[in-house]
């Protein structure tokens, strides 16, 4: 049996788990998983991730807007993320944020960058690490993060 395993990037709010999430979580514990960080990728999934973290003692959450979800955000999206992060001690990072040019029809890079920068600033304000997503956007991602004193992980 594995012991002391910590899953650092999961999407436990996925609909594929909805029917038997309690069984999935119990199985994770049985297999030796001591912790799971479930990542938000837009406002509803960030909210669900926080709810899961608050429900399960070994689950933690990130809140954030995935780069391919940056078009058509409400004006108050940063305030919504801030509120989620401040209202739960189980929120451990801002993410999944970043830049993604890997999909046809991706949001305009300027929109992605604006949202990425706003979330990096939120992470600094809240003294939280970041979970950065980068697909086919290495140069822009690195150019942007050089402007900030952040900590976290990138994939």
| Omega prior to 96 cis, within 30 of 0 | yes
Using only C-alpha atoms, the chain has a radius of gyration, in whole angstroms, of: 16
The span from the CA of 64 to the CA of 119, in Å, is: 7
Summarize the confidence of residues 111-135 as an average pLDDT: 98
> What is the three-class DSSP state of 5?
strand
Token match 């604006």: residue?
114
| pLDDT, averaged across the chain | 95
CA distances from 79 to 2, 43, 76, 103, 129 (A): 40, 11, 5, 28, 18
pLDDT at 107 over 90: yes
Record the pTM.
0.94
Q: Across the strands, what pairs with 37? A: 60
Which of the 8 DSSP states describes residue 67?
G
């Amino acid at each position: 049996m594995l012991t002391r395993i910590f899953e650092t990037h999961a999407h436990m709010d996925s609909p594929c788990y909805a029917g038997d999430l309690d069984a999935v979580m119990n199985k994770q514990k049985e297999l030796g998983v001591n912790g799971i960080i479930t990542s938000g990728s837009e406002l509803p999934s960030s909210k669900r991730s926080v709810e899961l973290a608050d429900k399960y003692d070994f689950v933690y959450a990130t809140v954030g807007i995935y780069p391919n979800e940056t078009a058509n955000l409400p004006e108050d999206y940063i305030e919504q993320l801030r509120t989620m992060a401040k209202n739960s001690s189980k929120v451990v990072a801002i993410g999944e944020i970043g830049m993604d040019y890997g999909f046809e029809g991706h949001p305009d890079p300027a929109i992605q960058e604006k949202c990425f920068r706003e979330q990096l600033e939120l992470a600094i304000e809240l003294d939280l690490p970041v979970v950065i997503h980068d697909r086919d956007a290495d140069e822009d991602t690195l150019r942007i993060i050089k402007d900030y004193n952040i900590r976290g992980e990138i994939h």
